[in-house]
Amino acid sequence: MTNLWMPVLAAIGLALATGPLGAFVIWRRMAYFGDATAHASILGVALAVAGILPLYLAVFLVALIMALIVSALHGRGHTMDATLGVMAYAGLSLGMVAVSFTAQPEVELHDFLFGDIMRVTSTDLWVIWGGVLVVLAGLVWRWAPLLTSTLNEDLAVASGLKPRREQLVLTLALAVVVAVAIKVVGALLIGAMLIIPAAAARGVSRTPEGMVIVAVLIGAVASVCGLMASVQWSTPAGPSIVVAASLAFGLSAMFAKRR
């Protein structure tokens, strides 16, 4: 059996960050925000393949720029839905076209779309866990202000908070998560890792903190199960993890309904 501990560590690291961040994505109804940012990161892959920037830095920068644009648009109200959708797919397609221009035949675009978790190196692990810890530290630091401005921005302002600053914290966190997830689940499935564990946790939680912890657990368990299944049946690893998380969502939905 393939040595699984490096992929498992990578996936669990990612789940630690996508749990809390995914909860905010759901609470703030920013699903498209995550997708647009993640899809555009393929453009960062193009920069890396062309040898202009190292992979993680390139993906982070592109994700950050996209996240800032999307975040600014999001602030303009709910009519931005269509624009966000356009940006998500424009970013993805532009990235793929750009990669094709770099004319590196050995580049497997597939690996960046769905991740290449079985081949993460110890360097990848350092980057992933470093990024994850930064995201966690930021979210813990701003926890109460983030919750308050997620509930209601005016209420947050009245309490002396600056909702825009909190939004920026989330934007930065999202860019970091997209960057570290590119090798784990790839650009197409980052959104799934944000939304599915958090959505699965919703039905069984009574507090925001509880929802985050359950989301992290579901993400971690789904990672391990998905990876094992992937080895067992030679299925693609990233999608297998997402399938496992989706099963958890199904179970949680049934449990919540029965209560």
Query: Which residues form the interface with another protein (CB under 8 A)?
Result: 26-29, 144-145, 147-148, 150-159, 161, 199, 202, 205-208, 210-211
Q: Coil, helix or strand for 186?
A: coil
Ramachandran category for residue 68: left, alpha or beta (phi over 0 → left; psi -120 to 50 → alpha): alpha
Nearest residue (CB) to another protein, 156 versus 248: 156
Beta carbon of residue 230, minimum distance to another protein (angstroms, whole number):
30
Give min distance, CB of 28 to another protein, in A.
8
CB of residue 175 vs another protein: minimum separation in angstroms?
23
CA 20 to chain CA centroid, Å, is: 10
List C-alpha distances in Å: 68 to 60, 164, 169.
Answer: 12, 12, 11
Judged by beta carbon, residue 234 or residue 257, the one nearer another protein is 257
Question: 120: which 2 tokens?
Answer: 């993460």
Q: Which of 131, 113, 119 is nearest to 42 (CA)?
A: 113
Q: Where are the alpha helices (DSSP H) in 102-234?
A: 109-114, 122-141, 143-151, 153-158, 163-181, 190-202, 208-233
CA distance 38 to 92: 8
Tell me how far, at minimum, the Cβ of 132 lies from another protein, in Å: 23
Nearest CB to another protein, comparing residues 86 and 151: 151
Least Å distance, CB 248 to another protein, is 16
Task: Name which of 27 and 251 has its Cβ closer to another protein.
Answer: 27
**C-beta closer to another protein: residue 146 or 174:** 146
Residue 63 φ/ψ, nearest 5 degrees: -60, -40
State the nearest-atom distance from the C-beta of 31 to another protein, in Å: 11
Q: Which is nearer to another protein, 37 or 205 (CB)?
A: 205
Which structure tokens are listed for 196? 């599915």
